[in-house]
Structure 1
Amino acid sequence: MHPQARRFCLFTLFASLISTTGYVYLIAPTWPFSRLHLLTSSSSESSTHGNSAYATFLGPPTSKSAFEESTNASSASDPLRDPYFISVRLLNYQFNHAERTKTKLLNVPFLVLVLPEVLSLQTEVLEAEGATIVRIEPLDVPDAFDRDFITNSRFRDVLSKLRLWQLTDWGKILYLDADSFLVQNLDGIFTDPDLSSSMKTLPSNETDEDDSDVHPPEVYLMAASSDTYGDQTEWERPGHINYLCACFMLIAPSLALFDHYVSVLDSAKALENAAYPEQDLLIYVHRIEGRMPWKRIPIEWSANDGEMNDELEGGVKSLHVKGWAGAEGGNIASEKYRGVRDRLVEEMSDYYGSRLR
């Protein structure tokens, strides 16, 4: 090839690359933000940790008040203003993008388990911003439960969280309820040997036989925070009962364990009138005196009371509190931590807005 022709081809190729790069950053805001993040992040600051994942669950609203994110009546008809959706979006931002809290581990996604009734508008926004959507089917409420109570409560769909144990593409999953937000990075939980090591299922005995026809696996992982209410300092005192909270769990997916859970739900020993279906099941299966006792995740990883962040040296790493106006149920954030969540939501909006300008 003539030298001038070769130079012209090289110049054309270089110009094409520059043009493509400009398109990615300036003209294509519909690209998932996770891709933009990967293009701009420094791999030297990251490390690999197997096939772990963070996860949460998003179902359809279970009551009118779930939409009352503000006193503005128009929010009730706008699914993008549903406070649980905003909270899931905030968790995704914090795990994938926010400098203070984003994961430094390679190939550790943020999974959002969604039921078929969740609007595509919501899942499309979450996917565009880097979340990994995992579509799941609901689990039926067992006959032994008070179906009228469960199906008309805000806990109508929570049994579906058991689908976490079917996600065997991942070795470990840290699950947080959607009404949570991060204060610090959580990566260390995957490497803490006291929390993340597998546990051996104990042999059955006459006083604690298998509760179902499906035997549990030989090894499992169930680490969880304590469900707490009121003055949290009480929960740190010796002798206080530890009450497994399904709001913050480090688990190892296992089809055998999933089948065991479902079998217990359908067995003669099924729980009756469980107010919190998935949590009451897990409390029973992983009771301390049973074959698969749970281990407690210390309160510095997750607390249900924002004020605990001021009690502990170094603070807590995440808060399981509802930080929006009109929230129903327990673990309502104080005014101070509603303000903290509001500032994080504003920070998230500024982050995404700056990438569309």
Structure 2
Amino acid sequence: MNTNPRTIALCIAFFLASALITYTLKTSHHPATGPWLPSLRKHRAHFLPHQHLISAPKVAYATFLAANTHSSSSKEDDIPDDEDGYFVGTRVLAYQLLHSRTAGTNLSIPFLVLCTRDVSKRKRDRLKQDGATVILVEKLNADWVHPGADRWRDVLAKLRLFQLVEYTKILFIDADMLVTKPLDGVFYDEATLTQATGTKPEKLLEDEGALPRTYMFSTHGDLWGYEHPYPPDPNLDYLNCGFFVFTPSKVLFDYYVSLLKLPGRFDPGFPEQNLLNYAHRREGNMPWKPLWYGWNVNWPTEKDWRGGAHSFHAKYWDGDPSHDPVLKAIWKEQRAEMEGYYRGREEGSR
């Protein structure tokens, strides 16, 4: 029986192709049944950074909510929820980060809300309905720390974020924030790379706690007013802690607590901000690193927004006439959008 030479050649070609595919799979860095195959089938945009973040240890957004954000003559339950600025701000922030089509996460990054135990269960339940992960924390105080404003009485509890060691990186965002563009990329900012703790013997004090071997703390400098250029000056020394990225660490948290036991070690007027400025001072062993200027602006103006900044730090719910009217209008639109979103979702589930 004669065999067609073309048939023989075709069989040899199929055999060689099969052998080549088998060899490629066996020598690849990725297993043939690994998580990369489903991602390829989904044709995800920006495959490599997204896949890296999904397979890496967890990252999160976070904010802080206390009950003591009103005047000393007001109790939390005396103020309607929709008039409680920090609570409303937290809800708007949750909507912006989790659900907004223009500013929300593309990577399903969770949003943590640290609440002191005196925040009402009603408010905590509402935040859970909004999609936030509520974490109850104990207050953190020191007898000698007297903040410059009554609403800052409990802000030192923010430092309990550093106890959340199940997360590799957390972006902390104050509740009084307008977000107009996604912030997911902040976790890839080069300032968020792990740093070795410095060795400056003259800066190591015996009455302070031990420092971690490595750390990561990155943020922006405080602009101290609306008259600033965009991009802002990158050489600012005093950090603003309304927006910062960090790696949780029990050793670092214990170091912060040790500072609270040393009256006068830092100016308590801005309790947590001045503590962090001391701990991460530029000339110290754990200097803070500057993030890309566009992630966030404090003392923001329309110029910053038109320049491409992603988020803006101001209490747009109050009547402060110094606030930029364009940014305040955008925040109010975001609040209305948030309320409509949840109203539609809840009515649709009935």
TM-score (norm 1): 0.76
1:195–1:297: 8 Å Cα contact kept in structure 2? yes
How far has the Cα of 1:311 moved from its partner?
A: 4.3
2:61–2:170: 8 Å Cα contact kept in structure 1? yes
Name 1:225's counterpart in structure 2: 220
Write the distance in 1 (CA, Å) between the matches of 2:199 and 2:241.
Answer: 25
The alpha-carbon distance between structure 1 residues 104 and 172, as it changes in their structure 2 partners (threshold 3 A), is same
Write the distance in 2 (CA, Å) between the matches of 1:117 and 1:189.
Answer: 32
Counterpart residue identity of residue 163, structure 1: R
Correspondence for 1:300 among 288, 294, 299? 294
1:321–1:332: 8 Å Cα contact kept in structure 2? no
Instruction: Please list the CA deviations of residues 35-71 of structure 1 after superposition, one character each: whole Å capped at 9, or x if unmatched.
Output: xxxxxxx99566525300000000014324999xxxx
Correspondence for 1:317 among 310, 319, 331? 310
Write the distance in 1 (CA, Å) between the matches of 2:306 and 2:299.
Answer: 15
Name 1:130's counterpart in structure 2: 131
How far has the Cα of 1:95 moved from its partner?
A: 1.2
Write the distance in 2 (CA, Å) between the matches of 1:43 and 1:90.
Answer: 32
The alpha-carbon distance between structure 1 residues 44 and 226, as it changes in their structure 2 partners (threshold 3 A), is same
Counterpart residue identity of residue 291, structure 1: N
Equivalent residues in 2 for 1:1-357, closer than 5 Å: 44=44, 47=51, 48=54, 49-64=56-71, 77-106=79-108, 108-143=109-144, 145=145, 147=146, 153-192=150-189, 194-205=190-201, 207-210=202-205, 212-234=207-229, 241-267=236-262, 270-271=265-266, 273-307=267-301, 309-311=302-304, 314-326=307-319, 333-357=323-347
Write the distance in 2 (CA, Å) between the matches of 1:244 and 1:315.
Answer: 21
Instruction: Please list the CA deviations of residues 114-152 of structure 1 after superposition, one character each: whole Å capped at 9, or x if unmatched.
Output: 001101111100001110001000001243x3x3x55x6
Identity %, equivalent residues: 33
Name 2:20's counterpart in structure 1: none
Secondary structure at 2:295 match in 1: coil
Coordinate RMSD, CA, aligned: 2.7
Write the distance in 2 (CA, Å) between the matches of 1:235 and 1:44.
Answer: 34
Secondary structure at 2:191 match in 1: helix
Name 1:8's counterpart in structure 2: none
The alpha-carbon distance between structure 1 residues 336 and 291, as it changes in their structure 2 partners (threshold 3 A), is same
Counterpart residue identity of residue 316, structure 2: G
Instruction: Please list the CA deviations of residues 167-207 of structure 1 after superposition, one character each: whole Å capped at 9, or x if unmatched.
Output: 11111000011111201000001122x122001101131x2
1:55–1:174: 8 Å Cα contact kept in structure 2? yes
The alpha-carbon distance between structure 1 residues 348 and 291, as it changes in their structure 2 partners (threshold 3 A), is same
Counterpart residue identity of residue 97, structure 2: F
Larger radius of gyration: 2
Write the distance in 1 (CA, Å) between the matches of 2:224 and 2:73.
Answer: 21
Residue segments in structure 1 that go unaligned for 5+ positions in a row = 1-41, 68-74
**How many pairs were matched up?**
297
The alpha-carbon distance between structure 1 residues 341 and 43, as it changes in their structure 2 partners (threshold 3 A), is farther
Counterpart residue identity of residue 322, structure 1: K
Write the distance in 2 (CA, Å) between the matches of 1:94 and 1:128.
Answer: 15
Secondary structure at 2:297 match in 1: coil
Residue segments in structure 2 that go unaligned for 5+ positions in a row = 1-41
Write the distance in 1 (CA, Å) between the matches of 2:126 and 2:71.
Answer: 22
How far has the Cα of 1:254 moved from its partner?
A: 0.1
The alpha-carbon distance between structure 1 residues 122 and 326, as it changes in their structure 2 partners (threshold 3 A), is same
